[in-house]
Amino acid sequence: MRIPLLDIQAQLAPIADEVNAAVCRVIASGQYALGPAVAEFESTIAEYTGAKHAIGVSSGTDAILATLMALDVGPGDVVIVPPFTFFATASTVVRLGATPAFVDIDPHSFNIDPNALRTWFTNWKGDKPKAIMPVHLYGQCADIDAILGIANEYDVPVIEDAAQALGASYPGVEGTRHAGTMGLAGTYSFYPTKNLSAIGDAGMIVTNNDALSETLRKLRNHGGTDPYSHTLLGGNFRMDGVQAAALRVKLPHLDRWNDARRANADYYDQRFDDSPVAPPAQSYSREHHCYHQYVISVPEQRDALRAFLTKRKIGSAVYYPEPLHRVPVFESLGYESNSFPVSENAARTVLALPVSPEVTAEMRTHVADTVLNFFD
Ligand SMILES: Cc1ncc(COP(=O)(O)O)c(C=O)c1O
């Protein structure tokens, strides 16, 4: 049995006719960049997340970049990010001439550790950082109440990198809220492997702040909402109409897809209980996690297990093989090896297994059997 980590065509198949029709309508309309399809999708995302504003952009990376630009992040500024995340969380900071200040993660949730964040602030002697950017890694929210508590104390805005977490939620002091809606702004990615996936690249920013929303609408379109009115130094971060149309067809299915991911995760958790494999720690009850990835920790022989699975046609992946302070392009930031031991250990031990909604009961049984056979 071949079990890919993700089967994009299998997910599309049941709704392909509807997606094709929606895309064809945009093609026939001639309104390809922004336009009514994007505006409609923005309203749907605002409604789904409960955010006041949703601003469609070209990718999750550009969502972060534009948000940092709106905060006027530039040379000499510092933005706090975890080192264990996708490249774009930190590369966007560096592209603006600013410096990412890495704060290590919690070993259980893989999200930025509020205790380490507090220690960072206690020791920091420089200017106030421009932002704190927690990442809701693998689809589980970082501890936002604790992070917002520290951020408010030091008067620093929080931008949530929720690229992996649309459909996840956080049960906090203000009730249960959607990932991405708790800080000043939140950013999503609709890259084809995400839980809600475009047919190419697309992203979204959500915020409750009117002024920020207005600035972002300009920044995504060369600094003006009207043609040739360049009041800000923006870029081309526009969302395509065809992406918005496809995403709008898919969004009503997202909760059901995320439930299927949760059911797969629940099954794996039971099978891996009391085994050499550590199932992912749940910070909150299961319904809050959207399992963008189901990531086990394998303290020994992670790579051998991966090779064993590959040989048996079972997809798996390492997100991420290097923490960001160790990737070549950030060497100039001057971090030594072992600067962030929790992130470095995670990079050596994590392994993502197939958890997508298309993974059937038969498939997940085979995945769990094969993983456990490896340790027999
Ligand atoms: C945590 C995180 N941040 C940012 C991004 C960037 O999103 P995109 O690939 O849409 O540019 C991704 C997606 O790959 C991600 O996983």
Within this chain, do residues 127 and 92 fall inside the same structural domain, yes or no?
yes
Expressed as residue numbers, the domain containing 142 is 8-252
The CA 88 to ligand 1 mean position distance, Å, reads 6
Q: How high is the pLDDT of residue 77?
A: 98
Q: How high is the pLDDT of residue 41?
A: 98
Within this chain, do residues 284 and 224 fall inside the same structural domain, yes or no?
no
**Would you say the CB of residue 65 lies under 6 angstroms from ligand 1?**
no
Within this chain, do residues 23 and 144 fall inside the same structural domain, yes or no?
yes
CATH of the domain at 166: 3.40.640.10
Q: How high is the pLDDT of residue 337?
A: 87
Q: Per the structure, how many domains does the chain have?
A: 2
**For the whole prediction, is pTM greater than 0.85?**
yes
Q: What is the pLDDT of residues 8-66, one digit of tens each?
A: 999 999 999 999 999 999 999 999 999 999 999 999 999 999 999 999 999 999 999 99
**Would you say the CB of residue 189 lies under 6 angstroms from ligand 1?**
yes
Average pLDDT (87-94) is 98
Give the integer Cα–Cα distance in Å for 345 and 315.
22
Name the domain boundary from 222, 252, 282: 252
What contacts 299, CB < 8 A, 6 or more positions away?
278, 349
Among protein residues, the one with the nearest Cα to ligand 1's atom 8 is 60
**Would you say the CB of residue 85 lies under 6 angstroms from ligand 1?**
yes
In a domain, 1, yes or no: no
Q: How high is the pLDDT of residue 227?
A: 85
Name the domain boundary from 198, 223, 252: 252
Distance of CA 361 to the CA centre of its chain: 26
CATH of the domain at 356: 3.90.1150.10
Residue 242: pLDDT band with limits 50, 70, 90 = very high
CB 223 within 8 A of CB 234: yes
The CA 133 to ligand 1 mean position distance, Å, reads 13
**Would you say the CB of residue 187 lies under 6 angstroms from ligand 1?**
no
**Would you say the CB of residue 195 lies under 6 angstroms from ligand 1?**
no
In a domain, 2, yes or no: no
Among protein residues, the one with the nearest Cα to ligand 1's atom 12 is 163
The CA 163 to ligand 1 mean position distance, Å, reads 5
